[in-house]
């Protein structure tokens, strides 16, 4: 990250080079840097820039409509912002071309519901995964017999492909499956509104907590042992050690882990798609934004492009807010640490 | 500050890639008028495209054809076994105007969409195929805008599986079946189940209920919804009432084909609506407790046989094919009595040729054959519409809510009607 900053431009505070020779040298370095970065930039432009621009252009085109005379599809033409209005304002057209509110059963009517479901999953799963992840990481960080075995065992759920995980939990949550047998209940895990949501949350937490644990473990391992010894000397309780030492010191690692998981959770697709098919409740209790996008792709690319652009913007805003908050935190912590070290 | 801004850009670009890359292939617009007039008498090697050949029926058939036509060799391009992937694979090749996809196997519900995109060769004039010997409803699945766009290849219809040890004579009407549910209650088992999870199977079951009651989902033009009729209401009401009063057990709302089959084989259901493939499995499965105690009957209707939904596949010629004459002859070969008979005996695929259902040697091997003929003969296709994905979604969402009791039948049908209308306006 820091190299990138230097390439972009020297910070204002840096004193200017006094001699032209040094200037020339720096110009040469800049050119080398451009050559080194160019292949990556070109690759990014091809694999990310082109699809994004193409999708945004498509999102302003109408989906193909039928020519009543021939019964064949014809290109829909320019749509203005109607594809976006379709999703955000839930506007549909009736057969005589009037704007109406999208009826249930039309994908447009599900946008805000899907947004809510997606955020609900993101917040709840990440909260649970963080709590369990910290707990697991602390266990893995202890020295005890069989630690290697425990670390490997904790990682197993993360190593299983999500599709397989989803199928696994699908069988567990079947009406006559293990979950109901153990709990002595008759819960319809894949079709009750809240049961299906919790089925997803349980499966996701099971699968992704190891990832959190691993990132947090990395943070834990850099805490020097003598800090704890000093704390013990001063008579700090275990809880105080955790709250005053462990948590602040793993915070940078923890925030990065949470950011990754939030971004991941906001685009959750495979788990609900396989486990519940997006169903439950009145039929869409577990439909996330990504599931909605895939559903719409089969009904029309252009409208799907608009929806994926909206989804992207939503996730981008969340990421932006998070990185700003996180970024300042990281910087402050480092400065604080440096100050601490200087003393 | 620099750090965070750069991070935002990096994260943003990564996100863009993740969320948008799926939509980069553009939507197609239909024209095809020119392509449909080309290569009508082209003769030469062709490719046949179909989903995974699970019961190994396609290769032997193609070998047989190739032995007889060494100058017009057919190559088999096998797709995955997932219907969605097959659909998307076909769409991509059509959009690329791929001349190597000469004859394609399309699910009955995709036929209208592909036809309206201008990708399928109309089967008329020199390319006309003889449909006089086929079961009538199968032709309807391949017909769009009064033009035949594909040759029916395999069919499928729903059957009523019942426990003949508990119900000696199967019910012929829905009302009789509901009366027989007291027998299920006495035996402590569920009465009737079809497929009511929210997926394509629900559309199959709901359209069966509506068609059986004399209603329909869309009109003959394939896009105008016709759900505001008392018949359509009566049809959906039947399912809703049965689920409400427990004749359809509560967990049936999670059933796809396999869950229903498992429950029936475990002896937990008196009646079940399912496809013919269940027959052999229920007879031979080690875990089946009903091997000798189940029978099959046509689906019950209002007064007589109910209106099953049609499954199956059609074979179509791509407008971009260079050898349409050969492709056409291959379609005729697929529909020939020998091929159809082989499909049935080797792969248990329901034939489209009417005569095979009366063949006594085949009937001996497939005891359900005459029942299946009755089912398919009175079957009704799912809506033949270019907007099928939106229509099936409208049906599933609203019927599912109605069956679960979250919505009244009237409201569900009103919403379904409105949602199907919006399907054809693009937004």
- Name the minimum distance, in Å, from the CA of B305 to any CA of chain A: 30
CB burial of residue A287 (10 Å; 0-12, 13-18, 19+): buried
How many structural domains compose chain A?
Answer: 1
Residues B52 and B148 in one domain: yes
Q: Measure CA A271 to chain center.
A: 14
Domain assignment present for residue A237? The answer is yes
Instruction: Judge whether B267 lies within some domain.
Output: yes
Strands A73-74 and A65-66: antiparallel
Mark whether B183 and B253 lie in a shared domain: yes
**Could you tell me which residue, B286 or B247, shows the higher pLDDT?**
B247
Domain holding B343: CATH number?
Answer: 3.40.190.10
Burial of A11 (0-12, 13-18, 19+ CB in 10 A): exposed
| pLDDT for residue A336 | 55
Its pTM stands at: 0.81
Any chain A CB within 8 A of the CB of B404?
A: yes
> CB distance from B397 to chain A under 8 Å?
yes
- B119-128 pLDDT, tens digit per residue, is 999 998 889 9
In this predicted structure, what is the pLDDT of residue B298?
Answer: 94
- Picking from A70, A103, A303, the nearest residue to B418 by CB comes out as A103
Chain A residues touching B27 at Cβ < 8 A: 58, 61, 63-64, 300-302
3-class DSSP assignment, residue B271? strand
Q: Sign of the C-alpha dihedral, residues A81, A87, A91, A92?
A: positive
Asked if residue B31 belongs to a domain, the reply is no
Query: Nearest residue on chain B to A85, judged by CA atoms?
Result: B427
Contact A295 B393 (CB under 8 A): yes
Range of the domain at B111: 42-156+310-377
**What pLDDT was estimated at residue B19?**
45
Quick check: is A150 in a domain? yes
Strand order of the β-sheet with B74-78 is B74-78, B46-50, B103-107, B311-317, B151-156
**Cα–Cα separations (whole angstroms), residue A337 to A229, A330, A331, A341:** 19, 10, 10, 6
pLDDT of residue B426: 63
- Beta-bridge mates of residue A73: A66
- Per-residue pLDDT band for B17 (boundaries 50, 70, 90) equals very low
Classify residue B10: in a domain, yes or no: no
Does the residue B22 lie in any domain?
A: no
Give yes or no for A96 touching B (CB within 8 A): no
Q: Are the beta carbons of A311 and B19 separated by less than 8 Å?
A: yes
Q: DSSP letter for B309, please.
A: B
Residue A266 is predicted with a pLDDT of 94
**Is pLDDT above 50 for B216?**
yes
Mean pLDDT value of segment B98-108: 94
Same domain, B99 and B184: no
How far is the alpha carbon of B308 from chain A, nearest alpha carbon, in Å?
24
DSSP 8-state class, residue B383: P
- Give the confidence band of B249 by pLDDT, cuts at 50, 70, 90: very high
Whether A209 maps to a domain, the answer reads yes
Q: Kindly state whether residue B29 falls inside one of the protein's structural domains.
A: no
State whether A74 and B30 contact (CB < 8 Å): yes
Q: Which residues in chain B are contacts of A311 at CB distance < 8 A?
A: 19
Instruction: Looking at the structure, tell me whether residues B274 and B332 fall in a common domain.
Output: no
Residues of chain A with C-beta less than 8 angstroms from the C-beta of B86: none
Q: Are residues B126 and B219 in the same domain?
A: no
Same domain? For B264 and B406 the reply is: yes
In a domain, residue A240? The reply is: yes
Tens digit of pLDDT for each residue in A151-193?
A: 888 889 999 999 999 999 999 998 888 999 999 988 888 888 8
Question: Residue A238 burial by CB count (10 A; 0-12/13-18/19+): exposed, middle or buried?
Answer: exposed
Please give the pLDDT value at position A327.
67
Q: Is residue B108 part of a domain?
A: yes
Tell me whether residues A283 and B396 touch, CB distance under 8 A. Answer: yes
Given a cut of 90, is residue B81 above it in pLDDT? no
Residues 6+ apart with CB under 8 A from B212: B174, B235, B299, B301, B302, B306, B307
Say what the pLDDT of residue B427 is: 58
Q: Is residue A11 part of a domain?
A: no
B34 near A CB under 8 A: no
Pair B399, B199: CB distance under 8 Å: no
Residue A266 CA: distances (Å) to CA of A129, A279, A292, B329: 14, 18, 13, 52
Rounded to a whole number of angstroms, the distance from the CA of B52 to the nearest CA of chain A is 21
Q: Which of A62-66, B12-16, B213-217 has the highest mean pLDDT?
A: B213-217
Q: How close does chain A come to B219, measured CA to CA in Å?
A: 15
Mutation test of the interface with chain B: which of A63, A79, A264, A283, choosing the one with the most B Cβ atoms within 10 A? A283
In a domain, A36, yes or no: no
Asked if the model's pLDDT at residue B66 lies above 90, the reply is yes
Model confidence at B58: pLDDT above 80:
yes
Residues of B (78-137) whose Cβ lies below 8 Å from A? 84, 87, 115-118
Q: Picking from A92-106, A257-271, B55-69, B150-164, which range would have the lowest pLDDT averaged per residue? A: A92-106
- How many residues are recorded in chain B? 427
Pair A334, B10: CB distance under 8 Å: no
Shared domain for B219 and B302, answered yes or no, is: yes
CB B210 within 8 A of CB B232: yes
pLDDT at B269 over 60: yes
Please tell me if residue A240 touches chain B, with a CB cutoff of 8 Å. Answer: no
In a domain, A179, yes or no: yes
Q: Looking at the domain assignment, is residue B248 inside a domain?
A: yes
Q: Average pLDDT, stretch B400-427?
A: 89
Say whether both B65 and B168 belong to one domain: no
Domain housing A224: 110-342
Return the structure tokens found at B249: 């057990």
Please indicate, yes or no, if residue B25 is contained in any of the structural domains.
no
CB B122 within 8 A of CB B147: yes
Contacts of A92 in chain B (CB under 8 A): 422, 425, 427
> How far apart are the C-alpha atoms of A289 and A114, rounded to whole Å?
5
Tell me: do B296 and B169 sit in the same domain: yes
**Which residue of A11, A62, A73, A265 to mutate against B (max B Cβ within 10 Å)?**
A73
Stretches in chain A below the pLDDT threshold 70: 1-21, 327-343
Question: Cβ atoms within 10 A of the Cβ of B86, count?
Answer: 22
pLDDT tens string A54-66: 999 999 998 888 8
User: Which residue reads 């971004």 in tokens?
Assistant: A263
Counted domains in chain B:
2
Q: How far apart are CA B398 and CA A171, in angstroms?
A: 26
Beta bridge partner(s), residue B295: B162
Residue percentage of chain B with pLDDT more than 90 = 74
Stretch B69-76: mean pLDDT: 94
Residue A75, class by beta-carbon neighbours within 10 Å (0-12 exposed, 13-18 middle, 19+ buried)?
middle
Query: Please, which residues have CB within 8 angstroms of residue B58's CB and are 6 or more apart in sequence?
Result: B48, B50, B76, B78
**B202 and B92 assigned to the same domain:** no
CATH code assigned at A208? 1.10.3720.10
Judge if B297 and B207 occupy the same domain.
yes
Whether residue A170 is contained in a domain is answered as yes
Residue B225's beta-bridge partner residues? Answer: B218
Q: How far is A190 from chain B (nearest CA, A)?
A: 7
Name the nearest CA neighbour of A187 among B406, B265, B254.
Answer: B254
Is the model's pLDDT at B177 over the cut of 80?
yes
DSSP string covering B61-90, please? HHHHHHHH-TTS-EEEEE--S-HHHHHHHH
What is the least distance, in Å, from the CA of B21 to any CA of chain A?
6
Q: Is the pLDDT of residue B87 over 80?
A: yes
Does residue B316 sit in the same domain as residue B300? no
Q: What is the rounded CA–CA span in Å between residue B161 and residue B195? A: 13
């Amino acid at each position: 990250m820091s190299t990138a900053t230097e390439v972009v431009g020297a910070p204002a505070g840096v004193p200017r080079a006094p001699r032209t020779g040094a200037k020339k040298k720096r110009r040469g370095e800049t050119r080398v840097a451009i050559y080194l970065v160019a292949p990556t930039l070109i690759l990014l432009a091809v694999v990310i820039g082109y699809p994004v621009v193409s999708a945004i252009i498509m999102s302003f085109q109408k989906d193909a409509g039928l020519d009543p005379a021939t019964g064949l599809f014809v290109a829909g033409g320019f749509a203005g912002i109607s594809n976006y209005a379709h999703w955000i304002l839930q506007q549909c057209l009736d057969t005589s071309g009037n704007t109406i509110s999208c009826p249930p059963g039309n994908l447009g009517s599900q946008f805000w519901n899907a947004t809510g479901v997606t955020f609900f999953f993101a917040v709840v799963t990440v909260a649970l995964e963080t709590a369990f992840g910290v707990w697991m990481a602390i266990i893995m960080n202890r020295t005890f017999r069989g630690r290697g075995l425990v670390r490997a065992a904790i990682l197993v759920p993360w190593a299983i492909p999500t599709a397989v995980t989803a199928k696994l939990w699908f069988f567990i949550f079947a009406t006559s499956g293990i979950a109901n047998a153990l709990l002595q209940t008759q819960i319809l895990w894949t079709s009750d509104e809240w049961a299906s949501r919790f089925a997803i949350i349980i499966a996701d937490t099971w699968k992704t907590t190891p990832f959190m644990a691993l990132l947090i473990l990395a943070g834990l391992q850099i805490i020097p042992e003598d800090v704890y010894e000093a704390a013990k000397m001063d008579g700090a309780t275990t809880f105080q050690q955790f709250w005053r030492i462990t948590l602040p010191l793993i915070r940078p690692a923890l925030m990065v882990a949470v950011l990754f998981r939030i971004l991941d959770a906001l685009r959750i697709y495979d788990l609900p798609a396989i486990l519940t098919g997006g169903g439950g409740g009145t039929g869409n209790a577990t439909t996330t934004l990504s599931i909605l996008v895939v559903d719409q792709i089969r009904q029309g690319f252009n409208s799907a492009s608009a929806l994926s652009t909206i989804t992207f913007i939503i996730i981008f805003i969340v990421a932006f807010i998070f990185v700003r908050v996180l970024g300042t935190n990281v910087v402050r912590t480092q400065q604080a640490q440096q100050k601490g070290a200087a003393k | 500050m620099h750090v965070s801004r750069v991070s935002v850009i990096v994260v943003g670009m990564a996100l863009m890639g993740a969320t948008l890359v799926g939509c980069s292939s553009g939507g197609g617009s239909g024209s095809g008028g020119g392509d449909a007039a080309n290569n009508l008498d082209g003769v030469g090697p062709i490719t046949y495209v179909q989903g995974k050949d699970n019961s190994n029926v396609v290769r032997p058939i193609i070998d047989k054809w190739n032995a007889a036509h060494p100058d017009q060799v057919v190559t088999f391009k096998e797709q995955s076994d997932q219907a969605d992937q097959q659909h998307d694979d076909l769409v991509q090749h059509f959009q690329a105007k791929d001349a190597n996809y000469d004859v394609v196997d399309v699910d009955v519900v995709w036929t209208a969409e592909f036809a309206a995109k201008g990708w399928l060769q109309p089967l008329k004039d020199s390319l006309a195929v003889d449909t006089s010997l086929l079961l009538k409803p199968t032709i309807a699945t391949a017909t769009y805008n009064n033009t035949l766009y594909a040759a029916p290849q395999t069919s499928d219809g729903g059957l009523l599986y019942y426990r003949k040890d508990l119900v000696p004579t199967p019910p012929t009407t829905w009302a009789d079946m509901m009366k027989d549910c007291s027998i299920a209650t006495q035996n402590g088992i569920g009465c009737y189940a079809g497929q009511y999870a929210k997926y394509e199977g629900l559309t199959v079951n709901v359209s069966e209920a509506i068609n059986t009651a004399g209603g329909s989902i869309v009109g003959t033009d394939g896009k105008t919804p016709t759900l505001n009729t008392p018949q359509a209401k009566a049809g959906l009401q039947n399912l809703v009432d049965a689920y409400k009063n427990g004749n359809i057990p509560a967990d049936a709302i999670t059933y796809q084909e396999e869950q229903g089959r498992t429950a029936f084989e475990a002896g937990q259901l008196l009646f079940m609506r399912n496809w013919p493939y269940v027959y052999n499995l229920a007879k031979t499965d080690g875990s089946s407790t009903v091997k000798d105690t189940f029978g099959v009957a046509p689906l019950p209707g209002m007064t007589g046989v109910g209106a099953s939904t049609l499954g199956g596949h059609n074979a179509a010629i791509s407008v971009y094919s260079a050898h349409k004459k050969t492709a056409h002859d291959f379609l005729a070969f697929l529909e020939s009595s020998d091929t159809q008979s082989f499909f049935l005996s080797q792969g248990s695929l329901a034939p489209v040729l009417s005569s095979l259902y009366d063949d006594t040697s085949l009937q001996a091997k497939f005891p359900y054959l005459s029942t299946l003929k009755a089912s398919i003969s009175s079957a009704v296709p799912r809506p033949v519409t270019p907007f099928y994905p939106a229509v099936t979604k409208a049906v599933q969402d609203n019927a599912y809510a109605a069956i679960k009791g979250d919505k009244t039948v009237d409201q569900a049908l009103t919403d379904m009607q409105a949602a199907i209308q919006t399907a054809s306006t693009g937004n």
